Chain A
Amino acid sequence: MPWGSALILLAALAGALLAPWLAPYDPDQVDVLHRFTPPFWLDGGSVEHLLGSDDLGRDLLSRLLFGGRVSMLVAVVCVSSDAMLGTLIGMLAGYLGGWVDAALMRVADVMLALPYLLIALVVVSVLGASLVNVVVIIVALRWAGLARIVRGETLGIKQRDYVALARVGGVGRAGILLRHVLPNVMNSVIVVSTLGVGTVILFESALSFLGVGVPPPTATWGGMVADGRGSIGSAWWVSLFPGLAITAVCLACNLLGDWLREVFDPKSMRA
């Protein structure tokens, strides 16, 4: 068990959940007299703003805590929705076969070949930037990868004796899928989803950075990095800390995902 990663994720989750109680300031509170205060260990810094403040004098630590809420929320909602959608579509395609399989997998191929950030940019620019739109787009663009993997595994499971026996014993399609196929594809679903958390966080932060994510003044990690872009030469801390937060959380998810993959299945999913 990679304890370090688990600890980072727990800390990030706790920080996001408890943000209203942990944050020393309102994350959107502007204080123009204390713009670009450095972190406390630098000259001119103070313990009043532990990680310093941004171009509007907003407290970075508070924004970091609240920004984590958006990243975590988007990651959890998107990854669990994609897990359900991808598993369902993958199982149906693999088990039913025939034209259902062909149709679903052609759609999946198209989804996988799309330049997804561009599509997301266009969709958000037309429908407007909002939390809901960001989530819907990420879910719609991401289910295909998992669906392909689940389909492949379902094809194998379908040939097993216990499935044939269940069918002879009069178990319906839904029963077989739920009781015999689903438990056997769960390992892959968990591994792919864990690895997907990092990807979704990176994707959401890229949208926020480009200005088409969750709209300001709501604090988001990607948006915070963008806020500090213009002042990178003089006030590096504004961009550095949110970027570190994104990297740490994604790295923790990736390490955890890799570990899970080795625990569940050392050989089959290495590629």
Chain B
Amino acid sequence: MARYLAARILQGLVTLLAVSVVVFVLSRLSGDPLTLIMDPMSTKADLARELARLGLDRSYPEQYAIFLLNALHGDFGQSIFFKRGAFEVFLEKLPATLELGGTAMAVSILIAIPVGVLSAVHQGGWFDRIARLAALTGQSAPVFWIGLVLILLFSVTLGWLPTAGRGSWRNLVLPAITLGWYGNAFLMRITRSAMLDVLDTDYVKLARLEGLAERRVIWKHAFKNAATSIVTTLGLMSISLVTGAVVTETVFAWPGVGRLTVDAIFQRDFPVVQAAVILIAVMVVAVNLAVDVVYAWIDPRVRFG
């Protein structure tokens, strides 16, 4: 178990290192950062002093080391747009995204897992067919368009829910459904196929022969064993939630880190972009690590292997 987790942690760190290199290289490609922060009237001497202060006169490997060290201390530089620390700006917007992502994830789990299990149990029946087609359609529709269609239906036509912003629970409904949409379809399909595999095994057949109630066979015997694939899927979903959040927050003007990143890109506010991309990658890696721990805990083959 320790060996397995050590390997996972190492891989997470390598991923983060890769992201930091990509961001660093791009930040140097995006043009001279000094042109953005310096007074156009400054002299050559001013420039040289500023270059030395920011460490931009050193070699690229040295610059990268400084960048990494600063990042570890939560220092991503000053936001050009907000005139404050980029890290601070990111932290301010984080709760909104966690609220949205958490709700979307909860909605997905509550809907997709029961539907996936029922679908597998009644394989080939009408419930299964409708659920599968719905899931496939869900996976095929673009998230941003689903958001707009929901706005058209529930805000414009019916007038039930607000179109944008954050505040009461009413603001949360449409964005959470939109963000949960894709993950829902994905999770339902994985749950179904994992359950089908397990329902086909001898111990489930044996449990049935022993005369256990069908309900008990499905949830106690089969579902427990299908859970490993489902948990892994939840980790993968965290990546698609990040992607979805960028788009969903743009559609609903939700004041979270996804919209912050998109805005920062258009405002050429590179310190904020750097901070956002690296910190979001940290979150994705952390969620995946948590999933690996849960995975090891459920599956004895991993725990003792």
Residues of A within 8 A of B (CB): 106, 109-110, 113-119, 121-123, 125-127, 198, 202, 205-206, 209-212, 222, 225-226, 228-229, 232-233, 236, 239-240, 242-243, 246-247, 250-251, 253-255, 258, 270-271
Contact = CB atoms under 8 A, between A and B. Distances in A.
A232 B11 CA distance: 44
Nearest to A202: B142
B128 to A, nearest CB: 14
Chain B's interface: helix, strand, loop or mixed, by majority? helix
A125 B142 contact: no
Contacts of A202: 140, 142
Contacts of A118: 242-243, 246, 261, 276-277, 280-281
Interface in B92-142: 136-137, 139-142
A250 B140 contact: yes
A122 B26 contact: yes
Interface stretch (B33-41, B64-72, B190-198): B190-198
A106 B276 CA distance: 24
Interface residues of B, number: 51
Contacts of A113: 11-12, 15, 239, 284-285, 288
A210 B273 contact: no
Interface string B272-288: 01001100110011001
B296 interface: no
A210 B30 contact: no
B266 interface: yes
Given A225-B145, A246-B145, A247-B137, A110 B247 contact: no
B227 interface: no
Given A115-B281, A211-B266, A222 B142 contact: yes
A126 to B, nearest CB: 4
A255 B136 CA distance: 8
Given A117-B246, A210-B246, A246 B193 contact: no
Given A122-B265, A232-B156, A254 B15 contact: no
A232 to B, nearest CB: 5
Given A118-B261, A251-B137, A225 B142 contact: yes
Contacts of A271: 190, 193-194, 197, 229
A253 B140 CA distance: 9
- A-B pairs with the 9 shortest C-beta distances? A243-B145, A250-B140, A251-B140, A117-B243, A125-B265, A247-B141, A126-B30, A233-B156, A115-B242
A224 to B, nearest CB: 10
Nearest to A233: B156
Contacts of B143: 206
Given A113-B284, A225-B145, A247-B137, 16 more contacts: A109-B11, A114-B239, A116-B239, A116-B243, A119-B277, A121-B246, A122-B265, A125-B30, A209-B250, A212-B265, A225-B144, A228-B148, A243-B141, A243-B145, A251-B140, A270-B193
Contact of B265 (A121, A242, A254): A121
Interface stretch (B17-25, B73-81, B204-212): B17-25
B251 interface: yes
A106 to B, nearest CB: 7
